[in-house]
Amino acid sequence: MVIGTSPSLPGPADTGAAAHAAARARSLYDRPDACSGAPAELVAPYAPGLGRAGRREALRPVYEALVAELGEPTLYGGSAAGPSARWHTGAHVVLLAGGPQGATLSVHTASDLHGREYSTVESGSVGWRAEGPHGFDALPYLWLLHRGPERGWPAFRWDGHHTAASWEHLESSLELLLDSWMEQLPVQAPGEWASFVVGCARDWPRHLRVGYSQDPGRLSLMVDHRTTAGEPGLEETMRERGWQVCDGGWWRAEFPDEDPSAARSAARLLVADVRARGSVCPDELVAWEPTVNDRGHLWLPGIGMPVG
């Protein structure tokens, strides 16, 4: 479905930073007890104001060096702040995590890391009060992808989800999730696509599909109106809502990777569409079939709606 893209070649400065990150990762992986508790080390700094594409390219050579040194991560993933990729050693986890200044490397006792993350996601600060902050930006990961055998699913993860407390919160959670996909998937899963389906309890047969494709880089939404294609005024209604083209009864909208507001526009369209079809709260929605290239198990704690 998607043709692979070629990663950019790192420059000399990137090469040195990548080699240092790989050496540090090997040290953390081989001697976790000696390094546990040490501060996280910044390995992929982001210049102030750097956009999504710039952060992606700053991370790419470092991430590729880590994979060359340690192999593919146990869990791919991303948060609102950057990557959240993990290499499990059994009792310990080497963590590549996003932060305000860039991506950092650290090692943790797996049970301690899980406990801290579980406390964060169950603290009541995410998705509870419509009048307060949405809190999805504080989640340790918005998505995680596991591609090992099912019997090897890591115990140290939270596989639930929070439902947004308002439509505004749902827009925020979806924007963060889709933005993370656009920033992280080209680095962690080059050339691959991701998608999920959304259904509305009050208009159940009409499913909406959300996808991200890397070739070309774009978010896309599509909704099935084959049974109502001849309905008077439908075209005007759909275009006013934000849909762009109709193909065989499927209405579509696409938002290119180079548009910094692509994720926000896609999230707004999804919310506008399900509300126009009668949904009164995010709890009436359900997402299913989350996947990256139909390979592995994808969790979406930051999606902001029930997951079936």
The string of pLDDT tens digits covering residues 121-132 is 877 667 678 888
Length of the chain: 308
Compute the mean pLDDT over every residue in the chain, rounded to the nearest whole number.
90
Q: What is the pLDDT of residue 124?
A: 65
Provide the pLDDT for residue 96: 98
Q: In the numeric block, which tokens belong to residue 139?
A: 């989640």
Mean pLDDT of 189-199: 97
Amino acid at 164: A
pLDDT in tens, 12-66: 446 788 999 999 999 999 999 988 888 999 999 999 999 999 999 999 999 999 9
CA pair distance 277, 193, nearest whole angstrom: 28
Picking from 134, 135, 154, 132, the residue whose alpha carbon sits closest to that of residue 145 is: 154
pLDDT value for 86: 97
Q: pTM for the full model?
A: 0.92
Do 30 and 89 form a contact (C-beta atoms < 8 A)?
no
Kindly state the percentage of the chain with pLDDT values over 90: 73
Question: Long-range contact list for 285-290, CB < 8 A, 24+ apart?
Answer: 285/198, 285/199, 285/200, 285/201, 286/198, 286/199, 286/201, 287/196, 287/197, 287/198, 287/199, 288/196, 288/197, 288/199, 289/195, 289/196, 289/197, 290/194, 290/195, 290/196
Per-residue pLDDT, averaged over 92-113, amounts to 95
pLDDT per residue as tens digits for the range 125-173: 676 788 888 999 999 999 999 998 888 788 777 777 889 999 999 999 9
